[in-house]
């Protein structure tokens, strides 16, 4: 079991990796730059290199997450900026030795043309990946279904990857809270979910898991994360365990995006995961 959490880069990329180790983690996630901006970052290459070497020496895996404002279905005036920003994220994450950069699946942009969003997503992905030759992947994350968001089914996620001109440069990141909120996973249909994911080839390209509980019920389409073992989490611990201990998830990093200011730190939560479900 490879446990980790999101960490800050306030002390640089190497500092983030060191914080992950201090948390008892064997994986971590970070924002490669300001999480509230698409601006291009002239990053510290030496710091990124040191982070990469540190992670190799400590058998530490990492993923990056695009800024909040990143969208694969942006307005026309932000398309070029979004492509440049995603390339910048990939460059930073690649220098840090990360598996990939997580980006949310797109949202509905037309009430009259249901395919418009998918066409734009493909254009955006092709625009980025045609310029990218690094090892770092784009990791498409499933959505919770909020505000007309697409990407709540395995079929959508797999099909976009298949239709992209560069499928080998795309992987997936499964968010357990989003899956629960969208109704993809109810907590009681893990067997069915695993069978579908395997049959569609989704799990073959799964590179990371956002390990989150949910504050709202399944099918609510509300994206509010809760701690794994907290009483306000509506996914029962044994349901989460049943899913993530499946053999198809072996060796895939489980990264917490849970609250660390509601009475439980990520360090404590990682220790609880190890004690309850094994290292």
Question: For the segment 61-96, what is each residue's pLDDT rounded down to a tens digit?
Answer: 999 999 999 999 999 999 999 999 999 999 999 999
- DSSP E strands in 7-49: the ranges are 27-30
3 torsion bin: left (phi>0), alpha (psi -120 to 50), beta (else): beta
CB atoms within 10 A of CB 34: 13
Instruction: Indicate if the pLDDT at residue 279 is higher than 80.
Output: no
Residue 231 in this model has a pLDDT that exceeds 90: no
Q: Which among 22, 14, 242, 222 has a CA at the least distance from the CA of 5?
A: 22
Arithmetic mean of pLDDT, 17-31:
98
The confidence score (pLDDT) of residue 36 equals 95
Write out pLDDT tens, residues 199-222.
Answer: 999 999 999 999 999 999 999 999
Q: Where residue 278 falls among pLDDT bands split at 50, 70, 90?
A: confident
* β-bridge pairing 27-30 and 61-65: parallel
**Mean confidence (pLDDT) of the chain:** 96
Q: Give me the CATH code for the 3-277 domain, please.
A: 3.20.20.150
Mean pLDDT (whole number) for 86-114:
96
Q: Provide the token pair at 134.
A: 């690094």
pLDDT digits (tens, 9 = 90+) for 28-59: 999 999 999 999 999 999 999 999 999 999 99
Domain regions of the chain by residue span: 3-277
C-alpha separations of 252 from 20, 83, 164, 207, 273 in Å: 17, 28, 24, 6, 15
How far out from the chain centre does Cα 23 lie? 20
pLDDT of residue 147: 83
| Pair type for strands 170-175 and 206-211 | parallel
- Identify the helix (H) or strand (E) that includes residue 122: helix 116-129
3-state secondary structure of 207: strand
Give the model's pLDDT for residue 148: 78
DSSP assignment of 128-159: HHTT--SSPEEEEEPP--GGGB---SHHHHHH
Give backbone dihedrals phi and psi of 192, rounded to 5 degrees, phi first: -65, -40
Q: pLDDT band for position 230 (50/70/90)?
A: confident
How far apart (Å, rounded) are the C-alpha atoms in residues 28 and 182? 25
pLDDT at 247: 94
Mean pLDDT of 243-252: 94
Q: Is 10 left (phi over 0), alpha (psi -120 to 50) or beta?
A: alpha
Q: 149 near 141, Cβ under 8 Å?
A: no
Q: From CA 26, how far away is CA 2, in angstroms rounded? A: 6
């Amino acid at each position: 079991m490879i446990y980790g959490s999101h960490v800050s880069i306030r002390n640089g990329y190497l500092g983030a990796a060191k914080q992950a180790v201090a948390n008892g983690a064997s994986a971590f996630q970070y924002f490669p730059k300001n999480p509230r901006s698409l601006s291009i970052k002239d990053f510290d290459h030496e710091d990124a290199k040191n982070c990469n070497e540190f992670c190799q020496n400590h058998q530490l895996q990492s993923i990056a997450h695009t800024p909040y404002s990143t969208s694969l279905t942006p307005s026309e005036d932000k398309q070029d900026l979004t492509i440049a920003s995603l390339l910048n994220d990939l460059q930073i994450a690649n220098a840090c030795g990360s598996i990939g950069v997580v980006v949310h699946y797109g949202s509905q942009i037309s009430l009259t043309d249901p395919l418009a969003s998918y066409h734009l997503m493909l254009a955006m992905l092709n625009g980025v990946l045609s310029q990218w030759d690094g090892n770092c992947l784009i990791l498409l994350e499933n959505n919770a279904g909020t505000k007309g968001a697409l990407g709540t089914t395995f079929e959508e996620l797999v099909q976009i990857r298949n239709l992209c001109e560069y499928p080998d440069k795309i992987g997936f990141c499964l968010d357990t809270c989003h899956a629960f909120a969208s109704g993809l996973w109810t907590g009681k249909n893990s067997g069915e979910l695993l069978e579908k994911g395997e049959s569609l080839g989704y799990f073959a390209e799964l590179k990371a898991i956002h390990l989150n509980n949910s504050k709202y019920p399944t099918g609510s389409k509300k994206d509010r994360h809760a701690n794994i073992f907290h009483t306000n989490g509506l996914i029962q611990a044994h349901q989460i365990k049943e899913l993530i201990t499946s053999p198809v998830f072996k060796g895939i990093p489980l990264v917490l995006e849970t609250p660390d200011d509601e009475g439980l730190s990520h360090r404590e939560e990682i220790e609880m995961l190890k004690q309850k479900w094994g290292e």
